[in-house]
Structure 1
Amino acid sequence: MDDAKGKVYSLEDTRMDSGVESLQNSLKDDPYNKTVRHPTSEQCETRDKVSINTEERLDSAYGSSSLTVESLSEIIGDCEITTSENDDCVEKTEFTELEENLSTISEDGDTVLHLAIIHEDKEFAHQLIQMFPIDVLDIQNNLYQTPLHLATYLSLASVVRGLVEGGASLELQDQEGNTPLHVACEQGRAECAVEMTRDISPCKLSPVLETQNWRGLTCLHLATVNRQHRLMKILMKKGADLNIQEGTSGKTALHLAVELHDMLSVTQLLSNGANVDACMFNGCTPLHLAVGRRDTPIADLLCQSGADKMLRNMEGETPLDLAHGNDDIIALFPFDDIQIQGRSVVRVPF
């Protein structure tokens, strides 16, 4: 089994500094390598359908010799449906062998449904969804992926819809702590996200929107980091908390958008009510980050949105302190203020 480095955005920021270090640098190294497996020799001609944006294996049993796609069509071959002689009810007979086959789990934890989805056999997947009880729909493989995780990776929106309608859970997390909705936000699967959230009540969806993966990121954080503007709009429409902090350094989605110099995301978040003065664990506001990154357009937008220019972080720095040497940003700040013990006193005309 070969390991391949996966694409993961690491946002760990535990240093108590001014918070102006570039997020781009933190994305270079990925401490979270996914376990990967490659097809067996007899499957080498089958295209790897689950690798998204990388060359890694995202499923756990594509190369399983105990259960393969070649045997899928044979699994239900012996199922016969007959009419009872005693009444008009239609009942399944000779179901024991079928039940045994359908309940087979590969050495890597995949069910027949996992494999049908991996090979994008949508028709067969829908048949299995109709046949399986809810608890089988939620079986997780050795990588803790449910069929819904895999259907989302592969952008199989109709299968996602079938699974959700069949009662599949949106809350189960894979080995990286990602729910299927996290996967949609990371991989840009907007249609899958729509299917997952379409008919879900707010009380059931809220826990999913607030769930953090093992890197402390919610769905909105992932959508923001990956510049998935449509997904951000979907999440905000569904009531995602715009000011929830990620778990490593306390950044909100607005902090992340500022770090990425993503004006569209910043505008989108502010127009939907994001707190312009939200503080990280080290006290830095989005304006601290914008000034520290010398991003004049975003700093100007934050100021126009009412950002407090005199808030201090844990190092006692205001955004104005960080603007030293940058005339364009300094021009955004007033010069007629007098500070007494760190508080601004605006000159009042007579």
Structure 2
Amino acid sequence: MASGGCRKGDQMEEQGRTDSGIDSYRSMLKDEPPCGGAGTGTERDSNPRSPGEPSGDKLCAGTEERLDSAYGSASLSVDSLSEMVQDCSVSTQHRGAGAPDEPEPSDQEESFLTTITEDGDTMLHLAIIHEDKYFAQQLIQIFPKDVLDIQNNLYQTPLHLATYLSLCSVVHDLVAKGASLELQDQDGNTPLHVACQHGWADCAATMTREVSSTKLVPVLEAQNWRGLTCLHLATLNRQHQLMKLLMKKGADLNIQEGTSGKTPLHLAVELRDLQAVNLLLQRGADVDAAMFNGCTPLHLAVGRQDAAVANLLCQSGADTMLRNMEDDTALDLADGNEDILALFPFDDIHISGRSVVGVF
């Protein structure tokens, strides 16, 4: 990624987006009946929203762009959507037994299953936006895998939206059906990025629980258009539980973000987050990792006059004599701070590579 960290969402080529494949899907319906389970009578999830869980009205929070044209409209409500899927579910039950005279899907069913709004949303996108878990889970059973990965005009898959709204049961069903963890939205975020951005540890755990470490590697290494991986985002948002989960899943502790080369440890130091600094160091993060400009975490701590973090880094073996591209050591940035200077034994100070001890 270019050091300027420019946003790539506007430059993404169309071929990188999952094609809706509606024409091909129509023929698939003729040849392969939808999976059963859509009309099994599963109880609707009536559990109250947990504290801090976002409501549907917050789906657009922090952005001026709408997620779909029908969201909140009087013409398309959760009830009307549920009625539509109920009609489809009853019909698919009758023809799901594999009888030789099994009828082809009706025009109404085809229309329902292949509808895409002007904003690129499928019915599954809309069900998730309306937070209708029961409806969404029925659709996941009906839709083939390829349709689950359709991206709307903002390049969001149903999994992106389910994660954003912390609908863990929907996230589980999508992943179990094979929904992709690697697709990126218009900001370059994968669904796991979204979980780390908003602190949804349960969704992240659900998303990664049954996925092999091999399949997780590209997800954990993926950078969004700001150059940030999931571990960078978890660190920036002080999500210590998520940091532990990502480390357990094999995230690279020393991976550099794409704009200035900061590792998660650099970011934790900048935030003065002692808990995150300690966590990263205990798990084996490189205490002397250098940014593109040569600054180590100790350079950043001393430059911010943060004696507590600087002390923790020194106790972890940080090299006090490493120089950045401006030829400064961490000591050079102490600016007379006595608490910082106390961390640097005088017999360790060198001038032009020679110890000052015995010079005077």
Shorter-chain TM-score range: 0.7 to 0.9
Q: Distance in 1 between matches of 2:225 and 2:236?
A: 16
Q: Deviations over 1:74-115 (max 9, x none)?
A: 434155243799x86794654442022111000111000001
Equivalents in 2 of 1:332, 1:114: separation in Å?
55
Does residue 339 in structure 1 map to residue 355 in structure 2?
no
DSSP 3-state at the match of 1:249: coil
Task: Give the AA of the match of 1:75.
Answer: M
Q: Deviations over 1:278-328 (max 9, x none)?
A: 000000000000000000010000000000000000000000100131010
Q: Which residue of 2 aligns with 1:229?
A: 240
Question: Distance in 2 between the 1:67 and 1:101 partners?
Answer: 13
Relative distance call for 1:95 and 1:292 in structure 2 (3 A) is same
Deviations 1:122-150 (A, max 9, x none): 01111100110111100001100000000
What amino acid is aligned across from residue 51 of structure 1 in structure 2?
Answer: L
Alignment of 1:39-54 (within 5 A): 48-51=56-59, 54=62
Q: Distance in 2 between matches of 1:344 and 1:62?
A: 71
Aligned counterpart, 1:144:
155
Matches within 5 A, 1:95-134: 95-134=106-145
> RMSD of the TM alignment (CA)?
3.0
| C-alpha distance in 2 between matches for 1:201 and 1:147 | 21
| AA of the residue aligned to 2:126 | L
- Tell me the secondary structure at the aligned position of residue 139 of structure 2: helix
Matching residue within 228, 232, 238 for 1:217: 228
Contact 1:82-1:92 at 8 Å conserved across structures: no
1:82 corresponds, among 49, 73, 94, to 94
**1:23-52 deviations in Å (ceiling 9; x for gaps):** xxxxxxx99999xxxxxxxxxxxx743437
Partner amino acid for 2:238?
A: R
**Aligned residues of 1:288 and 1:318 also touching (Cα < 8 A):** yes
**Residue 60 (structure 1) aligned to one of 54, 68, 72:** 68
Residue 71 of structure 1 corresponds to: 80
Alpha-carbon distance in 2 for matches of 1:187, 1:67: 28
Change (3 A) 1:304 1:58: farther
- Once residues 231 and 212 of structure 1 are traced to their aligned partners in structure 2, the CA distance between those partners, rounded to angstroms, is 17
Which amino acid counterpart does residue 255 of structure 1 have in structure 2? H
Aligned to 2:94, the other structure's residue is in SS state strand
Q: Do the aligned partners of 2:168 and 2:202 also contact (CA within 8 Å) in 1? A: yes
Q: How does 1:1-350 map to 2 (within 5 A)?
A: 48-51=56-59, 54=62, 56=64, 59-63=67-71, 69-76=78-85, 77=87, 79-80=90-91, 81-82=93-94, 91=102, 93-337=104-348, 339=350, 341=352, 343=353, 345=355
CA contact (8 A) 2:9 2:225 kept: no
CA gap of 1:83–1:138, structure 2 versus 1, over 3 A, is closer
Secondary structure of 2:189's partner?
coil
What residue number does 1:23 align with?
A: none
Return the offset for 1:337: 3.3
Letter paired with 1:60: D
Change over 3 Å in CA distance of 1:346–1:96 after alignment to 2? farther
* Equivalent position of 2:28 in the other structure: none
Q: Tell me, which stretches of 5 or more residues in structure 2 are unaligned?
A: 11-54
For 2:180 and 2:60, how far apart are their aligned partners in 1?
23
Q: TM-score by structure 2 length? A: 0.78
CA 1:178–1:83: 2 relative to 1, 3 Å: closer
Residue in 2 that maps onto 1:38: none
In 2: Cα distance, 1:307 partner to 1:54 partner: 39
Aligned AA (1:182): H
Residues paired across the two proteins, number:
309
Give the distance between the partners of 1:48 and 1:56, measured in 2 at CA: 15
Moved more, 51-60 or 245-254: 51-60
Letter in 1 for 2:281: L
CA distance in 2, matches of 1:84, 1:215: 47
Which residue type is aligned with residue 82 of structure 1? H
Preserved contact between residue 50 and residue 150 of structure 1 (Cα < 8 Å):
no
Residues 120, 83 of structure 1: alpha-carbon distance in 2 compared, 3 angstrom cutoff: closer
Q: Quick one: structure 1 residues 57 and 304, their matched pair in 2 at CA, closer, same or farther if it must change by over 3 Å?
A: same
Partner of 1:6 in structure 2?
A: none
CA distance in 1, matches of 2:285, 2:96: 63
